[in-house]
Amino acid sequence: MNAYNYGFLDENTKKEIRRKTLKAIAIPGYQVPFGSREMPIARGWGTGGLQLTLAITGKKDVLKVIDQGNDDSVNACNLRELISRSCEVDTTVDTLKATVIQTRHRIPEERMSADQVLVFQVPQPEVLRTVEPSEQETRRMHAERDYSRMWVHLYEDIVKWNEIRISYDYPVLVGSHYICDPSPIPRFDVPKLHQADTLFLFGAGREKRIYAIPPHTDVVPLQFEDFPFTVESFEGGCEKCGSKNTYLEESFDRNSGERHYYCSDTSYCGKKQQEAEGETVSIGAEWHE
């Protein structure tokens, strides 16, 4: 990687991304436009999160990259290899040891600290897109806090299904002002954003937007008094580690026809298995203990 600049991007690009990130932190939930660059991966595969991570990562940082909670997926491995080689940083799969974590669609099960940053890959940053196709109109709606159509959208779900059936991209109100898309994380992860110690950064490369949720910010999912927000629940625990308080993924065995459920967060699941075998391992606290 000696032929490339440190952090792959040129210095002016990284400065611009850092300035836009500071503005996003100053206005929680507000989408800040930025000049998204061409990257060595296709748009839609995490170019926004990748540019954010490359712009903020220093040589003393420790990097972790997860894809749907998994450290070993093809997407996670390739991004980790690119970032670690271009930024010359150490990598880890341990959530507690990382200072910068880039994620696709999950928040780790272990609570992150104030010294850590979580960078999200965001395919579609505009939460109002489902109710309004015009970018100009959504800008006006955000500026005037005109979110009536989103409320009607949720109400229509209740009328049709007797519940709000948004399983991911669940709209949240950030800092009592902007409605924000928390990226396609499951509803299970949405409460982790509220009053967290960690800085959350969101990068959408294709849509050229950066936004942020700073530490200790109120993040409230949209809900009605008689239809409160709920998270996914699972009847049994993880079949590998036995955890009953984590988000589980379904695995289908086509030979036996059986369905199995395992922790989505492979790092946490591995630690719990080590602990069950009698090994000494450091496991972080839950988010709202």
Report, as residue numbers or ranges, the catalytic residues: 29, 238, 241, 263, 269
Contacts of 132 (CB under 8 A, 6+ apart): 138, 141, 149
Burial of 116 (0-12, 13-18, 19+ CB in 10 A): buried
Q: What is the dihedral of CA 147, 159, 161, 263, to 10 degrees?
A: 30
CA 110 to chain centre: 14
Give the separation between CA 11 and CA 160, rounded to whole angstroms: 52
